[in-house]
Structure 1
Amino acid sequence: MEKILLPTQNIRELQADASGGDVVITVTVGATVPTGFEHTAAEEIEEKIGVEAKISKDRGRIYFPITSDKLFQVHHLKSVDNLFVVVEEYDHYQFKESKEESLVDLQQLASKLPWTDALEVWKLNRALKKKKGHRKGGSGGKAKPSSEVSDATAADTEQQELPQAEVSAAEGQTKTEGSTDAEAYTQDSEEAAPGAKVTKFRVTCNRAGDKHSFSSNEAARDFGGAVQEFFQWKADMTKFDVEVLLNIHNTEVVIGIALTEESLHRRNISHFGPTTLRSTLCYGMLRLCKPQASDVILDPMCGTGAIPLEGAIEFNSSFYIAGDNNDMAVNRTVNNVCHIQRRRGDKGSVSGLPIDTVQWDLCNLPIRTSSVDIIITDMPFGKRMGSRKKNWDLYPSCLREMARVCRPGSGKAVLLTQDKKCFSKAVSRMGGLWKKLHTVWVNVGGLHAGVYLLKRTGAVFGQTPEDIYEPRGAVNSQADEKDDKELS
């Protein structure tokens, strides 16, 4: 097996702090992000933390170094779903051919791993969350696995409650030199909390690849058994203190310890609908259109308001208009806005948000022509909302109305849809009004979708024949066929 050589990976830097001699540990933190927006997340990390992130071959994961004194900064990231500290990482792990030998290797691996730094960071992270007043027993949920994951994990990876267990391992002293990782961690726990309950843990395995002789459940079971024997922890699949992650992607193996009990993508929404977008995906879409100060940003199919809410919080120098033709959707958006305002007010910050909510007809918006800078929305896929048949009429009509209200020459649109064929043909028929600049392929609840960045042409609305849907020319047909092949 070949270990990835990262200069900052799990290297303990014993730097005596002038103020108190605190030990600063440098570790690698891993993060799951919306697939397709790995580069966006890497940009945010470099911008906010000042370090360079490595994008994994396993889509939807990135890794970056951080020192323990700056750990709090990772919880301010808006493009990441779940965070974990890396115990060890292997780029080319040599799995044995037989199932039995492979599982024995995983069992033996548990006692050879450098657990100390990762556990110290886990304890520090736990203390940080206590200071922030995180609620106990919250309605946490694991992010849904992407379609590339071949097996279910040992612990259910669908959305589920992950209540925070009682703290049974307190924040104790650092390990003394010469003792084993297991001895040090157990000693810290006993000293800091005499008579405390045994630490509870679970192992979650995410496996992708078709050349493994074992399943995710088998890997989690055998590796978890070895972890339990090594640390003398108690296995508990629901009320656990420590979640050990075993991520296997072909020959890449990453062992980590979770730093988040619930995915950060649920941060702004209290009233959910059938198509509520993850806040992390909304953030990626907003960064794609680069909102500027005083921009008017429109979401004409806002659903529960996830996109404009994320924008109003993170890019608050712009103004957001959220609308929908469904009164229940509008009510959910209003309730979510009120929830955020109350939460901000309770924390003593300014509670107002630059956002307004309206119920309207999507194809006849009560907005002046050429008055909107950016349009950003989640269009109906034709799965949970609408239908594929209706999309053939809806998409051209709404693209035309969006072109009417969007500023010619400078306006942009960021549109998410899984109905790629219908959307591509609708855009091609609007060639005089919209120009396709870029596409980001994303995974939305297991569906392969596209986030399309369009630019409004300089054509004056009302002086183009785009509302007459004539058969497309051969060039456009060939281009669409090529697009369809790439999307399949």
Structure 2
Amino acid sequence: MSGIQEATNQFLDVTLHDNQRSVPRAESDIRSESEHLHVTIGATVPTGFEQTAADEVREKLGSWCKISKDRGKIYFDIALESLPQVHCLRSVDNLFVVVQEFKDYQFRNTKEEVLKDFEDLAAKLPWSDPLKVWTLNTSFKKKKTKRKKISQNSSKGKLESGQGDKFDEKDGHEEPGRNALDSHILDYYENPAIREEVSTLVGDDLASCSEIDGSPREETEPQVRKFRVTCNRAGEKHCFTSNEAARDFGGAVQDHFKWKADMTNFDVEVLLNIHDNEVIVGIALTEESLHRRNITHFGPTTLRSTLAYGMLRLCAPQPTDIIVDPITFPVFCSKTSWGLPIDAVQWDICNLPLRTGSVDIIVTDMPFGKRMGSKKRNWNLYPACLQEMSRVCRPGTGRAVLLTQDKKCFTKALSRMGHVWRKVHTVWVNIGGLHAAVYLLRRTPQAFVHPSEQDGKELGNAKNEDDQ
């Protein structure tokens, strides 16, 4: 049995065992509810990469995707059974289920009238289905945490009894394939072989979920949930502040559900997103950004994995392409899909230990000159980087995707390298409040000539002219 099959079976055993305690319902009713309940999911994505995220949604979920006028947000419809797959999207940061969207909300003239409308709105919204989605989502997160603890305890027990996988005592690295459940195989929803089982599990979870709007399916009384309202507002024509909107709308939500307001230790986060005349009410499905899920260590310039994914998609990589990140390599390879050991080495970006013309794609985060290096040093560093990258990249087909906030310096350096690099596209992004750019470059067909050789040719030509 392969490692993938074994990990899948272990996951199904644990999850099915959990669902044996679910309230029994007719299988046809379960499937009917999971297949017919469609919801709208909202996602925040790195600004500038909205189209990239929309493309991934269409490819992996088969859903039509809308790009919001509010930068950094997309919306798409899914069947409830596809909810776990949404968490496997590589381009999204945060997820929420849409309660209701108002494309052209009519704000009243005074602040008091607007805030009163927000209070009245809370009791009129269709909360039922979005709260079912939130409950199901919470159930999946709890099971994932439980599976992780079971996996860790199992691995610990094997090692203590001497039955675990072998260690390389010299460098402390584990052998390939160790503990598949700790690797990206936990993204089991991407495996077509178990989608049918996942659909059944969704139905089982629906059967065991309580109606959080006050009519529980089980005999036990529903617990009082803690919540908070977060208002994200953009636009200059509003006569109210974000805090005022969150306060008054939150008070109405509290009266409607009899929940307890708690700004820090909350169970449910209700979102009030306002962009000009567009108002969207939602319920958060993620507690922290998904870009953290694969990063084991944060350095001073750690690149968001969602942004790295968007950069990589820009250059349309093929299975046979050789891809190199000569600067932020440890960030990209902090964890591998199959548990394979990775050797990280320190390179000199201006003198890479790679053969000329051996690389298909270069993807990297250039030093901004803020947390690392300086803008003064960038004036010498950037031209040297582009020159060395042009050497190792294949002429004619090679590509480079480079991120930098020092746009003036990069533009100047690129203008001096026009014979080997051609700018194809620029994506403007926001990196922690910094206005940065992602440049997609294509290697020209011109063969690389080392500057010393070029200087020698120019000197020889000049000498020949003098002799004549």
Normalization by structure 2: what TM-score? 0.75
Which residue number corresponds to residue 81 of structure 2? 69
The 1:465–1:425 alpha-carbon spacing in structure 2 relative to 1, beyond 3 Å, is: farther
- The aligned counterpart of 1:239 is 265
2:306 is paired with a residue whose SS is helix
Pairing 1:37-436 to 2, within 5 Å after superposition: 37-133=49-145, 185-188=213-216, 192=218, 194-195=220-221, 197-302=223-328, 305-306=330-331, 308-309=332-333, 337=334, 340=335, 350-352=338-340, 356-436=343-423
CA contact (8 A) 2:357 2:394 kept: yes
Provide closer, same or farther for how the CA distance between residues 465 and 36 of structure 1 changes in structure 2, counting only shifts above 3 A. Answer: farther
Residue number in structure 1 paired with 2:40: 28
Residue 248 of structure 1 deviates from its aligned partner by 0.5
What is the CA–CA distance in structure 2 between the aligned matches of 1:467 and 1:35, rounded to whole Å? 41
Shift of 1:187: 2.0
CA gap of 1:102–1:466, structure 2 versus 1, over 3 A, is farther
Aligned residues: 373
Q: Is 1:442 equivalent to 2:429 in the alignment?
A: yes
Partner Cα separation in structure 2 for residue 356 and residue 260 of structure 1: 33
- After superposition, the C-alpha distances for 1:400-455 in whole angstroms (9 at most, x for unaligned) are 01111111111110000011111111111001110111111111111111110001
CA contact (8 A) 1:432 1:464 kept: no
RMSD, aligned α-carbons: 2.5
* C-alpha displacement of 1:21: 5.1
Q: What residue identity is the alignment partner of 1:127?
A: S
Contact 1:34 1:442 in 2 (8 A): yes
Secondary structure at the counterpart of residue 398 of structure 1: helix
> Relative CO higher for 1 or 2, CA cutoff 8 Å, sep ≥ 6?
2
- Choose 1 or 2 for highest CA Rg: 2
* Cα deviation code 1:254-302 (max 9, x no counterpart): 0000111111011111211111111100100011112212322111111
1:467–1:364: structure 2 CA closer, same or farther, 3 Å change rule? farther
Task: Please give the alpha-carbon distance, in whole angstroms, between the structure 2 residues aligned to 1:173 and 1:391.
Answer: 59
- Alignment deviations for residues 150-174 of structure 1 (CA, whole Å, 9 cap, x no partner): xxxxxxxxxxxxxxxxxxxx97778
Partner SS state of residue 276, structure 1: coil
Describe the shift of the 1:117–1:268 C-alpha distance in structure 2 as closer, same or farther (beyond 3 A): same
In the superposition, relative to structure 1, how do residues 32 and 135 fare at CA in structure 2: closer, same or farther (>3 Å)? farther
CA distance in 2, matches of 1:276, 1:444: 11
Counterpart-to-counterpart distance in 1, 2:130 and 2:88: 20
Equivalent residue, structure 2, for 1:475 = none
Amino acid at match of 1:387: S
Q: Which runs of 5+ in 2 are unaligned?
A: 1-25, 149-204, 456-468
- CA change 1:88–1:215 in 2 (3 A) is same
Structure 1 residues 255 and 134: alpha-carbon distance in aligned structure 2, compared to 1, 3 A threshold: farther
Higher helix share: 2
Say whether the 8 Å CA contact 1:432–1:466 is kept in structure 2: no
**SS of residue in 1 equivalent to 2:445:** coil
The answer (yes or no) to whether the contact 2:273–2:279 under 8 Å persists in 1 is: yes
- TM value normalised by structure 1: 0.72
Identity of aligned residues (%): 64
Give the equivalent residue in structure 2 for 1:476. none
- Deviation string for 1:160-195 (max 9, x for gaps)? xxxxxxxxxx977789xxxxxxx962222xx54735
| Aligned 8 A contact 2:428 2:436 in 1 | yes
Quote the Cα distance in structure 1 between the aligned partners of 2:66 and 2:392: 40
Separation in 1, partners of 2:296, 2:347: 23
* Residues 326-370 of structure 1 deviation map (CA, whole Å, 9 limit, x = unaligned): xxxxxxxxxxx3xx36xx6xxxxx3116x5421122111121111
Q: 1-side partners of 2:244 and 2:237: how far apart?
A: 15
